Every structure is written in structure tokens, then in C-alpha cells.
Amino acid sequence: MPIEQTLILVKPDGAHRKLTGLVIDRLDAAGLEMVAAKMTCVTEKLAREHYAALSDKPFFEGLIKYIRGEFHGIKDHRILALVYRGENAIKAVRAVAGATNPEQAAPGTIRGSFGRITTAQQFENVLHASSDPADAAREVALWFRKDEIIP
Ligand code: UDP
Ligand code: MG
């Protein structure tokens, strides 16, 4: 099985609801190795680049506000960004996370247990996890410099 790297963000609902430790515990339990971590500011530019593929979706502007912490009173738009590495890490993290829509996420997954859909139809689903190798490579490089990642 390939050794992969994948980007995880503890989204503002996760930080606000004190689920940061839970996310890290679940990733540890999946047998993956944390190789980078930082609290960083989600600038407007970074948010739009991160979600560029979704820019034509009706929920895009709400998504940018959400990831920048504007619905959860997050100071300085800060977020915890992580890189995990391991065999099949991308799929393994997606399995721990659960489906994008919290209503469809399996019970026991992070999103299934702790995600919600707001009355504005925003999916608040606790964490971001890269979805495939191309996305993972692009996202890790977008959020981290090479020298911030354990080689
Ligand atoms: N999202 C949403 N409504 C939708 C689809 C997506 O609010 O109908 C949000 C949700 O927070 C999701 C993010 O947009 O996590 C990115 O969407 P994507 O399809 O990439 O899902 P993910 O890769 O995060 O599972
Ligand atoms: Mg995605």
C-alpha cells in the first residue's frame, strides 16, 4: 500500500465545540503519523484557493465564511492545520471523518457523531480531509512549506 500524506483542518465548528483533541485521538487510533501541525490564519486568499474547485457552487460564499471562522467567533481566522502520513492515509482519514453530509455520515465517524446541517444549509462537519492524491499534494503544498513537514 502506498505511503501517502494528507491535509487535515480542524474546522471552526470543531474548534468551537472543543473537538480538536477528539480529532487527533481518532487519527492516532487509525495508526497514522502526524508530520506537521500549526495554528495559522485562514486569509481570504487562502480560503478561496483551498476551495477553488467549488467556486461555482451555491454554498461557496458561505463556505468561505465558515472556514474563516466567521460563524463561530474564531479570533484572527485561526485554524489548526495538520499533515498525517501513513499507508493509504488519504482514504484512512476520510474513513475516520465520514461522509461530507453529516446526515449521511455513518454513526461513529467524526462527522456522523458531531457534524450538523445549519438552517442556512451549510454542512458543518468538524474537519477537512484531502479527498485524493492530487488534492492532497496540492493542499499540503498550499498550507505548509516543505521545511515545516517532518521529512
Ligand atoms: N459543503 C456544503 N454543502 C454542500 C457540499 C459541501 O456546505 O452541499 C461544504 C462542507 O463543509 C464540505 C465542504 O463544503 O466539507 C467542501 O466540500 P467537498 O465536496 O469537497 O466535501 P469534503 O471533501 O469536505 O468531504
Ligand atoms: Mg473536498
What's the length of the chain? 151
Angle at 121 between CA 115 and CA 122, to 5 degrees: 55
Contact 7, 97 (CB under 8 A): no
pLDDT in tens, the chain (151 residues): 899 999 999 999 999 999 999 999 999 999 999 999 999 999 999 999 999 999 999 999 999 999 999 999 999 999 999 999 999 999 999 999 999 999 999 999 999 999 999 999 999 999 999 999 999 999 999 999 999 999 9
Q: Is 114 in the pocket of ligand 1 (CB under 6 A)?
A: no
Task: Report the separation in Å between the CA atom of 89 and the middle of ligand 1, taken as the mean of its atom positions.
Answer: 20
**Ligand 1 binding pocket includes 122 (Cβ within 6 Å):** yes
Whether the full predicted model's pTM is greater than 0.95, yes or no, is yes
Q: Which pLDDT value is given to residue 1? A: 85
Could you tell me the distance, in angstroms and rounded to a whole number, from the CA of residue 44 to the centre of ligand 2? 18
Within its chain, how far is the Cα of 38 from the centroid?
13
For residue 9, the ligand closest to its alpha carbon is 1
- Write the CATH number of the domain with boundaries 3-146: 3.30.70.141
The pLDDT of residue 90 is 98
The domain limits of the chain are 3-146
